[in-house]
Amino acid sequence: MSRLTADTVATALHYLNPCGLLELDLRENNLAAIENLGATRDGYEAIDLSGNHIRVLGGFPRLRKLSMLLLASNRIGSVDSGLGAALPALRSLVLSHNVIGSLDALNPLAELAASLRRISLVGNPVARNPKMRLYLLHLCPRLQVIDFVKVKRAERLAAIDEFGKPGEAAAHKTFDPLAALPSSAGAAAPSKDATSAMSSDERAAIAAILANVDSLDEINRIKILAQTPNGRASLLDGSYAAAASQHPPSTESTAATAGDVEDMDDLD
C-alpha cells in the first residue's frame, strides 16, 4: 500500500465535478490512510478518495472550503473525533461500501451536525440496522438525504421519540430496573437483595409501562419505584398510572418539540 504524500497531491488530477465543485481526484491510489492533505492548501471544495484501503475516517487538517468528501469502497470501520473542527463546511459525505458495523461507531459524526446535509452508508453492515436513519438524524438533525433517500418529517419526529432531542445523549426506550439510580435522583442504588426478587413478569410489566413514557423525569420516577416491592406494587396495580394521567406533559413542552421539528423541515 502507498502513502498519501505531498507529491501525490501535487500530481493528482483536479477538475470541476458535475456539481460544479473544484475536485481533487485521489481515487484508487492504494492509499492506506488519510494524511498530508495540508498540501492542498485548502484549495478544493471536493476530494475523492474512493477505492483505496483507508481504515479510519480522520487525519484531516483544517479544510474550510471542503464541502464534499467521497470515500466509497474503502475499509473504513471507525471515525475519529475532531471532524467538526477540521471540516466545518462539509455538506456531503459518501461512505458507501465500507465496514462500519455499529451505531456507536457513528457517534463522532455528531461533530458535523451544523453543516452535514447528505450522507451515504449504503453497503456498510450498519446500514442493515433498522434504526440507523433515526440515529443519524439524532446525531445530525440537519441531514436532508440519507442513503440517497430524502428525509421525511415523520422520521425527524421518530428520531426524537427514539433517541431524544438533538444534543441529548441517545437513550433507547428500554429500561433496566437493576441499573444504578442517577445521582440527581438523590437515592442510593438498591442492594442486590432488594432487586433480585423482581420476577420476570414484573420486569415485563414495567417494560410495557415504559413503552408509553416519553419524559426522562417520568422514567426516573418509575425507576425509583421499581427498586422496592411497594413501589413495584404501585406501578403494577394501576394506582401509579392513574396518578400520572392527572399530570400529562405540559403543552409548552409539547409545542417546543414540535417547533424544533418544524424548524428542521425549513432548512435549506
Q: What is the pLDDT of residues 38-65, one digit of tens each?
A: 999 999 999 999 999 999 999 999 999 9
CATH number, residue 127: 3.80.10.10
- Shared-domain flag, residues 95 and 228: no
**How confident is the model at residue 40, as a pLDDT?**
97
What digits encode the pLDDT tens for the residues 204-237? 677 667 655 555 566 667 777 777 887 777 777 7
- Per the domain annotation, does 179 fall within a domain? no
Tell which phi-psi region holds residue 122, choosing left (phi > 0), alpha (psi between -120 and 50) or beta. beta
**pLDDT tens column, 88-126:** 999 999 999 999 999 999 999 999 999 999 999 999 999
Q: Is 228 found in the same domain as 145?
A: no
* 116 and 208 assigned to the same domain: no
| 96, part of any domain | yes
Instruction: Kindly state whether residue 265 falls inside one of the protein's structural domains.
Output: no
Residues 218 and 132 in one domain: no
- Do residues 115 and 27 share a domain? yes
Q: Is residue 33 part of a domain?
A: yes
Length of the chain: 268
Same domain, 89 and 205: no
Res. 171: pLDDT tops 60: no
What is the b/e burial string over 232-268, where b = at least 16 CB atoms within 10 angstroms of the residue's CB?
A: bebbbeeebeeebeeeeeeeeeeeeeeeebeebeeee
Domain of residue 227, residue span: 200-237
Neighbours of 49 (CB within 10 A): 25
84 plus 148 within the same structural domain: yes
Domain count, the chain: 2
CB 114 within 8 A of CB 87: no
Residue 208 has a pLDDT of: 65
Same domain, 215 and 156: no
113: in domain = yes
Q: Are residues 157 and 215 in the same domain?
A: no
Radius of gyration of the chain (CA): 23
Is the separation of the CB atoms in 120 and 148 below 8 Å? Answer: yes
